[in-house]
Amino acid sequence: MPGTWSNGGGGGRVPLLGVTVMRVQRWGEMSEPARDALVARGLDDIFNPQLRDSIGALIDDVRRRGDAAVCDALAKFDGITLTPGQLRVTDDELDSATVSEAVDRAIDDAITHLRAFNEHQLERFDDWSFEPEPGLVVGEKITPISSAGLFTPSGKASYPSVAYQLAVPAIVAGVPELTLVVPPAPDANGQVDPAVLVVCRKLGLRQVFRVNGPAGIAAMGFGTETIPKVRKIVGPGSPAVTLAQVEMQRHGVATMMLLGPTESLVIADHTADPHRLAADLLVEAEHGTDTSVVLVCTDSATATTTDIELERQLGELPTVRAKAARAALGPNGGCVLVESLDEAVAIANRYAPEHLQIAVDADEVERVLAGLVNAGEILVGQHTPFSAANFVIGCPASLPTSGFAHVSSGITAATFLKRTAVVGADETALRRMGPSVIALADHEGFPAHAAAIRRRTQSDLDSVEPARWRR
């Protein structure tokens, strides 16, 4: 029976026969360096010095030479020769793109759910104001950003789902100018995946360009003769694409941190179905050899059965997907055995996964959910697999990776909105605040700040003694 283990007398891992699919560790016996190694994933590849130098040179080339550099990058990295006039996807290509009837219906289903989620979210971002004291009104005005660039990856697979996951929130938010770049499909003579074009047509996107990933990020950031300049760029991709977005921040472009190699974490106890656990662990695991997938489990028997089931289900995957999954569940992730759900929650919060699923006893769900604070998404129960959330449910699926769920969120309508403070004071309120403004301005050594108040209310504020301290 391959892929099994038992608990030895000391509570550690004791392998039985063969090699398990999942690397297995017991949290209580792991050293701090081992714990850090489990949690720290993805960043070394993204911030590799050689890759950074290469991407930096490419970005500078696009800044200097525009379309010519973009075409050279396509030829060098994708083996596709195009002229600047061929970078933009034509209206005929958009209008004639087709997919199967089943895929067409699925895209409509997904767009409907995404619109509903983001429109509901948008209702919570109305302008607001209140009066903290008589005569003073403060609040915020919520407006969309002026333009956005959407990067849809290509190469490992077709990703129409990324196109609508990025575009629908931006459209709901009201962004007036949207540009989408997508690398040409491999071995397709420069053609773009028709499913991506169908998504663009359904959503009314007409600024669509076939561009190499990092070069496309730079092109949208600077603007070229053909590709419009945008204010914010979003979209997941390879370490090169992610690093290009990070580097473009130096040039004043807003990007999301970080949308790198995918990852998932599942919290499970003795009630979880190992068959479904294995299936759900493989969802993100099949993406690539840079993926990380972790099962945090309170029950060694459940973990054992899940590992056996993983071995069986891996046999049903294509070789390239099975290889990716073994890396994701082996050296990149694996199973962590814990003593309690509280310990599992603490590990999940430390890991801050992109995708997180709870597969625990129904009586424990609310307590576990309440304790989770760091995750791109939380899927509750084994009827909510990662694949359903990735494709159709409507919650964000472009989510922070590499631990950035500690500080950031997935791409929704909120991603494309900005807040502007709006404040108004009458004379009564200004007179009331004046002494405080003058005292602080004098203390910090800004006489013009204080003068702006004194010149309005001199007769009433002569008694305010200036501070003696100066810079």
Residues annotated as catalytic are 354-355
**CA pair distance 453, 343, nearest whole angstrom:** 56
Q: Which residue matches tokens 């509570």?
A: 11
**CA pair distance 268, 260, nearest whole angstrom:** 25
The answer to whether residues 162 and 199 touch, using CB atoms and an 8 Å cutoff, is no
The answer to whether residues 190 and 86 touch, using CB atoms and an 8 Å cutoff, is yes
Q: Which residue matches tokens 């990058």?
A: 73
Starting from the edge strand earliest in sequence, which strands make up the sheet with 292-297, in order?
24-26, 334-337, 292-297, 263-268, 355-359, 377-380
The answer to whether residues 83 and 71 touch, using CB atoms and an 8 Å cutoff, is yes
The answer to whether residues 233 and 148 touch, using CB atoms and an 8 Å cutoff, is yes
Q: Cβ contacts of residue 451 below 8 Å, gap of 6+?
A: none
Helix, coil or strand: residue 252: coil
What are the backbone angles phi and psi of residue 130, rounded to the nearest 5°? -155, 170
Beta carbons within 10 angstroms of residue 248's beta carbon:
23
**Which residues make beta-bridge pairs with 179?**
149
Radius of gyration of the chain (CA): 27
Helix, coil or strand: residue 25: strand
The answer to whether residues 384 and 357 touch, using CB atoms and an 8 Å cutoff, is yes
Q: How far is CA 417 from the centre of its chain?
A: 16
Query: Any idea what DSSP says for residue 251?
Result: G
Q: Which uninterrupted H or E stretch holds 103?
A: helix 101-122
The answer to whether residues 174 and 152 touch, using CB atoms and an 8 Å cutoff, is no
Q: What is the dihedral of CA 203, 207, 54, 406, to 10 degrees?
A: -30
Paired tokens of 131: 């009066």
Half-sphere exposure of 431 (CA within 13 A, CB side): 11
Q: Cβ contacts of residue 238 below 8 Å, gap of 6+?
A: 153, 155, 213, 261
Q: Cβ contacts of residue 320 below 8 Å, gap of 6+?
A: none
